[in-house]
């Protein structure tokens, strides 16, 4: 979703793994997800350093860092420097760009 607080994963606390919805690339574990007031699913750490790539995004009159899938190049969201310890990062992702697979019970 393009609007905060409307995507299916922003408020989810389920345990599992998040993947790129376009190509199935593994992106995040639920253990790296945290409750952020931004209204989008937020993570402090990616699962693998090669699975997400970054580029400067100066659209909408703002300076941001765009997060892209390291495999297919699809837009995932943005990276900010206001996340929790230990990384201080906030991967602010779009629910529509993610697929979620819950852990086996």
User: In this structure, what are the phi and psi dihedrals at residue 66, rounded to the nearest 5 degrees?
Assistant: -80, 140
Active site residue 92: yes
User: In this structure, what are the phi and psi dihedrals at residue 96, rounded to the nearest 5 degrees?
Assistant: -65, -20
Q: From the candidates 20, 69, 72, 92, which is the catalytic residue?
A: 92
Q: Confidence band (pLDDT; 50, 70, 90) for 10?
A: low
d(CA 75, CA 78): 9
Phi-psi region for residue 42, left (φ > 0), alpha (ψ -120 to 50) or beta?
Answer: beta
d(CA 96, CA 93): 9
pTM of the shown model: 0.88
pLDDT above 80: residue 40: yes
> What topology is assigned to 16-94 in CATH?
2.170.150
Query: What are the structural domain ranges in the chain?
Result: 16-94
């Amino acid at each position: 979703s393009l609007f905060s607080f409307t995507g299916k994963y922003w408020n989810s606390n389920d345990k599992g793994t998040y993947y790129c919805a376009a190509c199935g690339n593994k992106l995040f574990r639920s253990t790296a997800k945290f409750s952020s007031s931004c209204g989008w699913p937020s993570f402090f750490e990616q699962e693998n350093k090669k699975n997400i790539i970054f580029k400067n995004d100066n659209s909408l009159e703002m300076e941001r860092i765009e997060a892209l899938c390291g495999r297919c190049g699809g837009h995932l969201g943005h990276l900010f420097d206001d996340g929790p310890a230990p990384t201080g990062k906030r991967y602010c992702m779009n629910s529509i760009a993610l697929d979620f697979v819950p852990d086996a019970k």
